[in-house]
């Protein structure tokens, strides 16, 4: 396998500790030996009862078809699998629950056997996490006592399935967006449960995203965090009178602007009177202007505003520019705007023109390059459509479609017995595609002279 022995049971893992570090427990404390299907325990009992539980078995973990109608998959989830295996140990409380769940006729000695199980005899051979992989080639080969390896099956498949799916989805978004765009994962609220959100953030980063809005993921994995404010922040303000703390220090001098609302108002009037810009808007929304001013006062060095609460070009963009220009006078450089509804291509082009006009008309260097972030139900197709239409967006905030893998919400990773006691095993099926390939395999990826991969070979 284009691979290495990654885990070799807890003991050996600890021996190679200095190389791969001490293995921490699974990110989600819910990843325990009970995170499995009941039949793994009923089978374990049947194997044990028959004295067959310690037979050496080889399982392949693989998938049958690339997701999203695509031609590749990114393998992910391995690290969490290793954490799970390294810490595999049933507690007394868990054993008591298993006893309650199996028929009372099951013998007591079986629970002693469960008590003693760890993964010190389990060997995992794996393709490195983050690799481009293809159908039917084993991603992981798991060897060990048949009963123990079966007990691992469900959690391993669970941990690889969604991880690989969402990493692949992120990589596909990156491919469509191009290298130069900033991609932000904004999916937590729409994800399938709390760790659907947290793992989505981890694996989207692995798949090529630049940052996440998810604070927990930022803390757990060190992923850069991004975020500004919501529509509710904007509509929570009524007028500029609400702004009580108005003073703002110049960035590079001890001077203080005592009433920051003043230059904001002045700039808005200048924009309105501008020959080139004045026609675009008349009165802007005052609660929005208050919200932007307040936000600018709180974050003068990283001012980024959501401009579509009322009307992007007739209110949001001019209000943003008034605050950004007032900040500019104090030495601060605003970051940009976010668009979250409507025709993103058109709006981004209009906003860009507005910024560029300001740069020229008022001589503010760099103002035309203001960052434009777009969000609102984006996915691979809409990214592609935006590209074709032409747009001025620098960053995309992508949520629902990315993290739930809307276009295909499951990857069919399977876990098949291919050898037991050195004898090859096959699963036949009425569905030809479900027939497994027997035997322990070695897999190679062949590279051409130029260093490009050509083909994967299994022997």
Binding-residue total with its own copies (CB under 8 A): 122
The CA distance from 142 to 126, in Å, is 9
244 belongs to the binding site for its own copies (CB under 8 A): yes
Please identify, using beta-carbon distances, which residue of 51 and 69 lies nearer to its own copies: 51
Q: Is 105 or 180 the residue whose CB approaches its own copies more closely? A: 105
For the bound state, the minimum distance from the C-beta of residue 368 to its own copies, rounded and expressed in Å, comes to: 24
* Residue at token pair 């996440």: 212
Q: In this chain, which of 85, 119, 140, 159 binds its own copies, going by CB under 8 A?
A: 159
221 lies in the binding site for its own copies (CB under 8 A): no
Q: Which is nearer to its own copies, 299 or 444 (CB)?
A: 299
By CB under 8 A, the residues from 363 to 402 that bind its own copies are: 400
Cβ proximity to its own copies: between 36 and 382 the closer is: 36
Instruction: Please count the CA atoms within 13 angstroms of the CA of 338 that sit on its side-chain side.
Output: 23
Measured CA to CA, the distance from residue 87 to residue 31 in angstroms comes to 10
Q: Which stretch binds its own copies (CB under 8 A): 67-75, 352-360, 362-370, 429-437?
A: 429-437
Say if residues 226 and 188 touch (Cβ distance below 8 Å): no
Q: What is the DSSP letter of 181?
A: S
Q: Is residue 60 a contact point for its own copies (CB under 8 A)? A: no
The least distance separating its own copies from the CB of residue 348, rounded to whole angstroms, comes to 13
Q: Which of 38, 256, 276, 457 binds its own copies (CB under 8 A)?
A: 38
**Could you say which of 215, 446, 454, 455 contacts its own copies (CB under 8 A)?**
215
Instruction: Out of 310, 329, 371, 394, point to the residue binding its own copies (CB under 8 A).
Output: 310
Radius of gyration of the chain from Cα atoms?
A: 28
d(CA 8, CA 12): 5
Please identify which residue in 2, 46, 132, 458 interacts with its own copies, judged by CB under 8 A. 46
Question: DSSP letters of 312-356?
Answer: IIIIIHHHHHHHHHHHHHTT----EEEE-SS-HHHHHHHHHHHHH
Quote the tokens at residue 50.
């028959």
Query: Which positions from 267 through 286 interact with its own copies, judged by CB under 8 A?
Result: none
Q: For residues 415 and 154, give the distance between their C-alpha atoms in angstroms, rounded to a whole number.
A: 9
Element (H, E) at 166: helix 146-177
Contact 51, 106 (CB under 8 A): no
The one among 126, 145, 213, 357 contacting its own copies by CB under 8 A: 213
195 binding its own copies? (CB under 8 A): yes
Any contact of residue 353 with its own copies (CB under 8 A)? Answer: no
């Amino acid at each position: 396998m284009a691979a290495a022995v990654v885990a070799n049971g807890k003991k050996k893992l600890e021996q190679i500790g200095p190389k791969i570090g001490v293995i921490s427990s699974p990110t989600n404390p819910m990843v325990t030996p009970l995170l499995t299907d009941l039949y793994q325990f009923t089978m374990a009992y049947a194997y044990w009862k028959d004295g067959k539980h310690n037979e050496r078995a080889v399982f392949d973990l693989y998938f049958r078809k690339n997701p999203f109608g695509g031609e590749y998959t990114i393998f992910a989830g391995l690290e969490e699998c290793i954490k799970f295996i390294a810490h595999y140990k049933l507690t007394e409380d868990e054993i008591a629950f298993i006893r309650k769940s199996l028929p009372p006729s099951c013998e007591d000695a079986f629970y002693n056997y469960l008590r003693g199980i760890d993964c010190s005899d389990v060997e995992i051979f794996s393709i490195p996490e983050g690799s481009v992989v293809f159908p039917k080639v084993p991603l992981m080969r798991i060897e060990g006592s048949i009963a123990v390896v079966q007990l691992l099956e469900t959690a391993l498949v669970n941990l690889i399935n969604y991880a690989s799916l969402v990493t692949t989805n992120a990589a596909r978004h990156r491919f469509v967006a191009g290298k130069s765009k900033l991609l932000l994962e904004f999916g937590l609220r729409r994800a399938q449960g709390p760790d659907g959100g947290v793992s989505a953030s981890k694996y989207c980063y692995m798949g090529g995203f630049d940052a996440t809005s998810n604070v927990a993921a930022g803390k757990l994995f060190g992923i850069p965090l991004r975020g500004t404010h919501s529509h509710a922040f904007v509509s929570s303000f009524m007028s500029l009178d609400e702004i009580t703390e108005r003073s703002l220090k110049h960035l590079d001098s001890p001077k203080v602007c005592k009433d920051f609302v003043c230059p904001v108002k002045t700039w808005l009037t200048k924009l309105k009177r501008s020959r080139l810009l004045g026609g675009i808007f008349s009165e802007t929304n005052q609660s929005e202007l208050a919200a932007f001013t307040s936000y600018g006062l709180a974050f003068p060095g990283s001012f980024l505003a959501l401009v579509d609460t009322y009307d992007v070009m007739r209110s949001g963009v001019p209000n943003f520019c008034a605050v950004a220009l007032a900040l500019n006078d104090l030495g601060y450089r605003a970051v940009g705007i976010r668009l979250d509804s409507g025709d993103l291509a058109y709006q981004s082009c209009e906003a860009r023109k507005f910024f560029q006009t300001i740069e020229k008309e008022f001589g503010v260097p760099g103002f035309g390059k203001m960052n434009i972030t777009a969000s609102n139900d984006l996915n691979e197709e809409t990214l592609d459509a935006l590209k074709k239409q032409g747009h001025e967006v620098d960053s995309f905030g992508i949520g629902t479609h990315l993290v739930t893998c809307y276009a295909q919400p499951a990857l069919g990773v399977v876990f098949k017995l291919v050898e037991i006691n050195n004898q090859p095993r096959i699963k036949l099926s009425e569905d030809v595609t479900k027939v497994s390939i027997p035997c322990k395999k070695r897999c190679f990826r062949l590279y051409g002279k130029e260093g490009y991969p050509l083909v994967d070979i299994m022997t």
